[in-house]
Structures are given as C-alpha cells and as structure tokens.
Amino acid sequence: MAKYITKRILMIIPIVIFVSFVVYCVMDLVPGDPARTALGDEATEEQLEIYREDHGLNEPIVVRYAHYIGGLLHGDMGKSIYNNEDVWQLYFSKLPYTLLLAVASVILTVITSIPLGILAAVKRNEWVDTGASALSFIGLAMPNFWIGLLLIILFSVHLGWLPSSGAGAGWKSLILPMITCGTGNMAALTRTTRSAMLDVLRQDYLRTARAKGLNEHLVIIRHAFKNAQIPIVTMIGTQCATLVGGALITERVFAWPGIGSYLVDSILKSDYEVVTGFVIMTAVVVSLILLLVDIIYAFMDPRIKAEYARS
Amino acid sequence: MFYDGNVSAERKEEKKQSKYAIDVENLRVRYETSSEVVMAVNGIDLQLKRGVTLGIVGETGAGKTTSMLSLMNLIETPPGVVEADHIYVNGTDVQRLSAAELCRIRGNEIAMIFQDPMTSLNPVMKVGEQISESIMLHGRVSKKDAMERAARMLEIVGISPSRASEYPHQFSGGMRQRVGIAIALACKPEILIADEPTTALDVTIQAQVLKLMKQLKTEYGTSMILITHDLGVVARMCDEVAVMYAGRIVEQGTLKQIFNETLHPYTEGLFNSLPNIHNRVASLKPIPGLMPDPANLPQGCAFAKRCPYAAQACYAEQPARKTYEDGHSVWCTAYRDAEFHIKRKG
Amino acid sequence: MDRVEKSCKNSAGVRQNRALAVWRQFRRNKGAMIGLIITAALILLAVSADFIWDYETDVIGMNIADRMISPGTKYLFGTDNYGRDMLARVGYGARYSLVIGAVSVLFGLFVGVPIGTSAGYLGGRYDTIIMRMIDAFSIVPSILLTILMVTVLGTSLLNLMIALAISTIPIFARITRASVLTVRYNEYIESAKAIGASDFYIITKYIIPNCFSPILVQATLRMGTNIISAAGLSYIGLGVALPTPEWGALLSASKQFIIQAPYLCFFPGLAIMITVMSINLVGDGLRDALDPKLKR
C-alpha cells in the first residue's frame, strides 16, 4: 500500500510538469505584451526592452519555463504584474477561503444527497424517488450564478438576513455561497447515489443477508451501501476538485475572496503571472485530491486494495 | 431486539405440535411486469417431515428456487406476487408474520444455501464477519464470542479458522460455497434449504461439499430441502423426491419410488436422457422440445406437447393428483386408466 | 447474445427495427417526451426568431420611454434599463445557447471520437500516451480550462464555442475509448478479422455502431453542461458580450438592477434552466431506452 502511494505520488510529478508546461506555453500565446502591461502606455520602447531583459522575457520559452519551475520548487512563482504581490503568497492567502467554502458545501452535499439517493433507490418509483429525481433535474439545470443571484435577491435584498458579498460577516457570509456551490452537486450526487444503490440492490448477496435474518435497515446500510460507495466517492472527489480548482463563477457572484474570484479578476486584468501560478497550483492540488480518492477506494473495497498491492 | 417471552413460549408449542418442518398448500407465485405475467409456481403442495431430506428435481425455470424463496418470504414484491392457502414453517405461517418476526425465523429456524457462491457473498465484508453476523443477531452473544463461533464454523466446513479475516475474493469457488454453508448453518437451523449447492462447482469439489452437507445434516438432525437438476446428487443425498415441471409438482415419492417405480412421463424422460454406463452404445433419448414459456402456459398439462403418451384430454385439463397406497403421488391424466403404464420399468 | 446477433446482421432493416424499438421505449418515458417537445419548441423558436422579432429594433433597439417596466400585459417579461422588451431579448437568445451547445458538442465529438476509437482499437503505446494526456487534462477543472482557452483565443462567440469544444474533447475521447474496449475483444470482432476484414471496415461497421449509444447519451447531456458553462463565461465577461442577448450576458447586465428590477435576472435564468432541463430529460430518456440492462 505504502509502495503504491509512493508510486502514485511520483506519477503526479510528470503529469504536473506536463500540464504546467502546457499552461505556461498557452499563457505565453496570450495576445498582449507583458512589458507593456506592466509599464503602461507611456513607456518608451527602450524602457520596455530593459524590462524584458530584466525579466528574462527574451529567452526561449523552454528556458523561461525551466526558470519558472525552479522558482516554483522554492515557493517562488513570480510577482503580480499589477501590484507586485508575490503570487505564491497570494495563492496561499486565498486558499483558506476557497477550502472553507469547498468543505462547507461538500458537507452540505453529502449529508443531504446520500440519504436522499439511498431512499430514492430503495423506494424506487415511489413518490420519494420521483420527487428526488425531479429535484435533481432542476438542480442540474440551474446555472450556479443564477441560483446565487436568486438567493441574493431573496435573502439579502428582500429579507436582509444574509450578506450578499464578501466574507466579512463570519458564518453568515458562508451560507449563500455554500448553498450556491452545493445545489448542482447535490443534484449530481443524489443521482449517483441512487444509481449506485440500484446496481447493488439487485445483487445476490443482499438475498443472503436477508436470509440470515437481518432487518431491511441493516441490509441497506451494512450490506448495500457499503458496496455502493465507490461511485459515490468518485463523484465527491470530482466535486471537491472542481470546488478547490476555484468555484470561479460562484466566488465571483458573491465576491468571495478565494482563489476563483481572484483568478477571474486577474484574467480580466491580464495579470498573467498570477493566472499561470494559480492554474499550476490548482493542478497540483487537484492531483492530490484525486490521489486521496484513489487511496480511499482501497479502504472501501478489499479487492482494490489487493490490486494496489499487486501493482 | 425486542423479544416477547409469551410469544416465544407459544412458538415452541406450535413447533412441537407441527409434525412437519414445512407444510405448504397450494403455493402460487407469479411475477408481474408491465409487459407480461410470468407464472413461476402454479399451486404446489409440499410436506417435509422432520429429519428428512427432500430433493426437488426439475430443469431450469421449473420454479424450484422461486418456491423455496417463498418459504422464507424472500420473493421481492413487486414484481412478485405470492399466494398460498398456508406456508407453515415449523408450524408458523410465514405469510402472517411481521417483518421483525420474519427476521427472527430467517437464518435461525430456516436457512438457505444459495446457488452461486461467486455472487452470494458480500465482497466488501470479511467472511468471518459474514458468518458471525447472524450468530450475533440470533444468539445475543458478544462480538468476540460470535467471531470465535464463526471461526469454529469455518473449521467445521473445512476452512482454516485463521482465514476468517479474509475477504470472499481471496477464496476459490468451492471454498466460497463452504463459507455459504457455514453462514447457513451458523445458528444450527432446524430446516435447511440448499439451492443447487454444487452446480457451480467442479466435480471433485462437488463430492466434498455433498459429503460435508450429509455429515452436518446427520450431526444436527436438520430437515433439508435440496434443489438440484442432477439426479446423481439426488440419489446420494435424498430420502424423498419431488419432480417439478413448469411450476407444478408432477411426481412425488420416496427415492426408491421415483427411481425404481417411475410413474410420470416427464420423470421417465429425465432418466432416459442420462447416459447409461452399462450400455454405452445406446443413444441418449433427450426429451424433445422445450419447457413452455411460463409467461404463456398452455391450458392443459404443461408437459403434454413433449409427452409421448399425450392424449386429447391432456391438452384440455390440468392433471389431478393421484396418490397410491404406498404414498407415491403422480399428477398425470393418463393414470385415470388403471391399465396405463410407462415404458420404463425399474 | 442479443448484441452479437444484432451486429452480425448489420443490415439496414435490423438497424431500422432497433431505432423503432428505441423510439417505442423512449415514447413511454413521460419526462423524456416532455423534454423532447420543449427542446423541439426551443429549436423552432431559435430558427424563427428573425421572423418574430426584428434584431435591430426589437432586440437591441433602445426605447428609453419604456425603461424598467415590470412584467405585465404590455411587456410579458418586462423591459430593461434601455426599454428593450425582455421577452424579445430572452426569446432571441435561445439561438445563441442552442447553437453554442450543439456546435461545441459536435466539434468535441468530431475530434474526441476518432481519438478515443483509435486509442481503444489500436491499444499499446499509442493508447498509453493518449490516456496519459487525457488524465493530465483531468487535473485542470473543465471550466477553468475553458476560461484559459477563451483568454488565449480572445472573447467572441466563435472562440467561446471552440474553447468549450476543446474542453469537451477529453470527455468524449475517454468515453469512446471505454466503450470501444468493451466490444473490442468480443468474438465477433475476432471472426470478422479471421475472414480478412480490414481495420477500417471493422471500426466503421462493427465498433462504432456498438459504441453509439453511450456516446449519443453523453453528447446530449454534455450539451446541457456546455450551455451552462457558456452562460457562466458570458456572465463573468469572458463570453458573448452585450448587447447580444445571450442569456448569461443578460444575467450579467441584470445584476446591477437587482434591487430595482429583480425580474430582469429571473427570466434569462429560467430560460437556461428550462433549456438545459429539457435536453437532459431527452438524454436521460435516451439512456434508458438504449440501455437494455435497465429494461426490466
């Protein structure tokens, strides 16, 4: 197991290098001159040239990328073209907010969707199932930012209960973004749970469990749900990855001071040093989350654990 | 779990009074889907005496498994619909039991070994836990004691007790079937239903498993129903035999009666389609045709179309039961004629 | 067994019967039929929008006298801050969302399916490299990838579609490969090879028809996702720009009037929701009708 984890961690490195190289090259293609962006319209051609020389902008891209990765390993991802802030520090100052939002909304999703999905599968075609399915269809079809706007209109403008932006009001600030991020995920996770449970519910070993004299409650929880966990965990993992990668639009709707809204701001301001750094860090964090999901699999299914041990 | 002392005393009384371990009358099971109704079991009567092994023989789809599942009330409804005049298990009608009372009987008084050992064990649960689960449920013992008993059960079925902490995927098919047997026997049930326990196994493993079951049966005095389509297994294991065809019993009697004094044309066909070791050049005589679609059963005898003796009357009406003095029963219209006999003679 | 038979008798007649059977199954699904009817109506609206409204006057033409009128009998959906009829703007916007959804998915299919098919069919090193690249893309969330693409390409309707298509490619490649692998090692493929069929023949006659269902279902569902993403990008100013009445852009414009005119942000969002929901209902109905496993 330890060997497998080590191997997987080592495998992350080339993937991250590949992705970061692609991102670096792609960002290099963005129209516009970073020197011009940094120095403004009044700068002369000479000043621009000096800036380029100072920042190594005239080197071939591979060399610049190598410098970049070298810096990254020391926690140096360059500085914002706009306010000269350190990108590494910026990322880690935004990360807690994004993590807080992600964790809160994943918890909300898990505690609502898993019971609902199980219930829908067990009571297949009854009103609970139909209701859950209708709600999921609506939830999946509502754009996050629209839900955000509606919630703001209702809870901030009309009722005045909750703040509409920022993170300054403690837990109250968290509620609306959390629900906004959670809606689509709740719908998706309910559907995943339901279909995973339906797959398991027709398995022979549930009949064995019933024949032993277990009551239906234990059959569902102890035998069925335990076997349905893999697709559920996969879905939760994907949702975590997307949330940590920046709930870009939701964070922006609520001016939530996380990675997503800062990233969008930087794109709109053409602050590409920040964009590159943030995207690469996102790739790293997401690969760690996916690794974690893989490790969790092993604890949920002994067959997967055995497979890891073999590889 | 809540357990009422009075009810328990009553149950014991019922058990003592009932002569039969299982007594079923007019059991009918059908599966209703949106497009069709599958008539799986169409009115069977079945009595199992205590301590006896009854074999139920018949081809795939004859309703053997379905009728046994309804003894434990394990048919999923919907799509299943189970009806019967009564289904007494140990003297109690399982149709009238509440869900909690059913749970108390299942695994405790009546247990079942399932057909496919590859799919009937929970893949993410240690085999020891799967065995101890029902011990804890019915015996009110501590987890530790239950695990110890589970380990002993493994030993009884010939698996090293140290493997209790392994998962089903670490066992071979034959060993998984032994685990299935250990689960079924964990609470020493009075009645054991074995649904083709050896079909999925290699021949050598088959013999071992059968031997084991026979041993355990004598040891515990269990009443047993053995479902199979293998007449060899029947000959080795059973005291009585019931032959099923298209959801009905067509012939029932002692092992000797069925094998040596065969009455029903279908049973005859079954024997004729077996290779004969003493006459290896004789060609096999398989029964022509196929069993009728249970969603579309004929009005008369379901076997008539394939039966070499079929007369006009066979197509028109359901055969009635005819029981001889020695207890041998047959459901065949032809026996209304006292002179009728089939070609095969014991 | 059924599948083997079907692909062996690959005649047009069989395929027609199968389509008919799928349609019969689909028709029984009430939700799917509602979805199909609404989707058809939306397509009709998108096609005929120019006959109903005049773009220059009704859709983007300003009418200061009628600014910010709440929904009522004169203006069913109300008017915006320039006095434009929201009904016309939202109605006209249907074509943007539908076109973005359809074009981005078609383009994604056009590139993703061949990649997935070749990887699954050829296997070996080529497959490993392709899969590694797809895995690599999976560590950048899809919406982030789309935003990066738009940043590089510049914001315009066409670039938005290209960006969405590119983020969709890995998804189609992966699902195609997976379904190719499920049929790849079937015996009827072996027997086709044994009688000397070329790879191209096998792929087009046997493999693609058998992978058709999961790809079709995924394509339908992906359309909904892409429509939402497109609206999201327009909302943050990286998609279609005003005054084009794209629904995301309409929502973006509405947010400053959240207090005076909350209805402005109600209708475009509702339109997105109904569109995506109808398409998803169709996709779900297709999945149920095409998947024999669930037919019980």
Q: Tell me the C-alpha to C-alpha distance, in Å, between residue B234 and each of A138, B214, B228, B240, B254.
A: 58, 12, 7, 9, 11
Q: With contacts defined as CB-CB under 8 Å, which chain A residues touch B169?
A: 302-303, 306
Which residue from C140, C151, C280 is facing A267, i.e. has the nearest CB?
Answer: C151
Which amino acid is located at B339 in the chain?
E
Interface contact flag, C141 A246, Cβ < 8 Å: yes
Model pLDDT, residue B11: 58
**Tokens 């089903």 appear where?**
B168
Nearest chain C residue (CA) to A21: C136
pLDDT-derived band of residue C7, with 50, 70 and 90 as boundaries? very low
Residue B4: partners with Cβ closer than 8 Å, 6 or more residues away: none
Q: With contacts defined as CB-CB under 8 Å, which chain A residues touch B114?
A: 204, 207-208, 211
Model pLDDT, residue C228: 92
Interface contact flag, A146 C265, Cβ < 8 Å: yes
Task: Tell which of C148, C259, C280 to mutate to test the A interface (max A CBs under 10 Å).
Answer: C148
Q: Tell me the C-alpha to C-alpha distance, in Å, between residue C94 and each of B288, C45, C48, C101.
A: 64, 7, 10, 11
Q: With contacts defined as CB-CB under 8 Å, which chain C residues touch A137?
A: 31, 277, 280-281, 284
Does any CB of chain B come closer than 8 Å to the CB of residue A226? yes
Does any CB of chain C come closer than 8 Å to the CB of residue A159? no
Residue B43: partners with Cβ closer than 8 Å, 6 or more residues away: B26, B27, B28, B247, B248
Structure tokens at A286: 């997401």
Which residues in chain B show pLDDT less than 50? Answer: 1-7, 346
Using DSSP, state whether A11 is helix, strand or coil: helix
Nearest chain A residue (CA) to B111: A211
The pTM score is: 0.86
For A:152-211, CB contacts with B below 8 A are: 203-205, 207-211
First to last CA, chain B: 54
* Closest chain B C-alpha to A220 CA, distance in angstroms: 12
Interface contact flag, A301 B123, Cβ < 8 Å: yes
Model pLDDT, residue C271: 92
Model pLDDT, residue C277: 93
Structure tokens at C284: 């779900």
Interface contact flag, A213 B104, Cβ < 8 Å: yes
Which residue from A26, A140, A268 is facing C148, i.e. has the nearest CB?
Answer: A26
Question: What CA–CA distance (Å, rounded) separates B293 from B35?
Answer: 14
Which residue from C133, C144, C281 is facing A245, i.e. has the nearest CB?
Answer: C144
Model pLDDT, residue C164: 92
Contact present, B161 and B193 (Cβ < 8 Å):
no
Whole-number mean pLDDT of chain C? 82
Model pLDDT, residue A248: 86
Interface contact flag, A204 B108, Cβ < 8 Å: no
Percentage of chain C modeled with pLDDT above 70: 90
Q: Tell me the C-alpha to C-alpha distance, in Å, between residue C220 and each of A242, B131, B299, C109, C213.
A: 22, 47, 49, 11, 11
Q: With contacts defined as CB-CB under 8 Å, which chain B residues touch A219?
A: none
Q: With contacts defined as CB-CB under 8 Å, which chain A residues touch B180?
A: 208
Peptide bond into C71 cis (omega under 30): no
Q: Is the C-alpha dihedral spanning C143, A196, A190, C212 positive or negative?
A: positive
Nearest chain C residue (CA) to A271: C151
Nearest chain A residue (CA) to C141: A242
pLDDT-derived band of residue C39, with 50, 70 and 90 as boundaries? very high
**Tokens 């084991």 appear where?**
B212
- In the DSSP assignment, the letter for residue B291 is P
Model pLDDT, residue C276: 93
pLDDT digits (tens, 9 = 90+) for A67-101: 888 888 888 888 887 787 888 889 999 999 999 99
Which residue from C31, C236, C268 is facing A264, i.e. has the nearest CB?
Answer: C236
**Tokens 């654990």 appear where?**
A305
How many beta carbons lie within 10 A of that of residue B288, not counting itself? 10
Task: Tell which of A138, A145, A202 to mutate to test the C interface (max C CBs under 10 Å).
Answer: A145
For chain B, give the number of residues. 346
Contact present, A148 and A253 (Cβ < 8 Å):
yes
Q: Alpha helix (H) ranges present in chain A?
A: 2-29, 34-39, 45-54, 61-73, 87-122, 127-141, 144-151, 171-201, 204-211, 216-218, 226-244, 248-253, 259-268, 272-300, 302-310
Q: What is the CATH number of domain C18-295?
A: 1.10.3720.10
Q: Tell me the C-alpha to C-alpha distance, in Å, between residue C294 and each of A21, A137, B56, B165.
A: 44, 19, 32, 35
pLDDT-derived band of residue C53, with 50, 70 and 90 as boundaries? confident
Residue C295 scores a pLDDT above 70: no
Interface contact flag, A142 C237, Cβ < 8 Å: no
Distance of alpha carbon A309 from the chain centroid: 29
Strand order in the sheet with B321-323: B110-113, B191-195, B223-228, B53-57, B240-245, B248-254, B329-331, B321-323
* Closest chain C C-alpha to A30 CA, distance in angstroms: 5
Residues C206-222 have a mean pLDDT of: 83
Residue C3 scores a pLDDT above 50: no
Which residues in chain A show pLDDT less than 50? Answer: none
Model pLDDT, residue B14: 61
Model pLDDT, residue C6: 43
Interface contact flag, B106 A212, Cβ < 8 Å: yes
Neighbours of chain B (3+ CB pairs under 8 A): A
Nearest chain B residue (CA) to A299: B124
Backbone angles phi, psi at B4, to 5 degrees: -85, 125
Contact present, A131 and A119 (Cβ < 8 Å):
no
Model pLDDT, residue B107: 87
How many beta carbons lie within 10 A of that of residue B39, not counting itself? 22
Structure tokens at B245: 């065809």
Question: What CA–CA distance (Å, rounded) separates B264 from B332?
Answer: 7
Does any CB of chain A come closer than 8 Å to the CB of residue C162? no
Model pLDDT, residue A58: 74
Domain ranges of chain C: 18-295
Model pLDDT, residue B128: 92
Contact present, B10 and B61 (Cβ < 8 Å):
no
Interface contact flag, A146 C251, Cβ < 8 Å: yes
Backbone angles phi, psi at B73, to 5 degrees: 55, 45
Which residue from A138, A150, A283 is facing C139, i.e. has the nearest CB?
Answer: A283
Question: What CA–CA distance (Å, rounded) separates B333 from B162?
Answer: 58
Does any CB of chain A come closer than 8 Å to the CB of residue C178? no
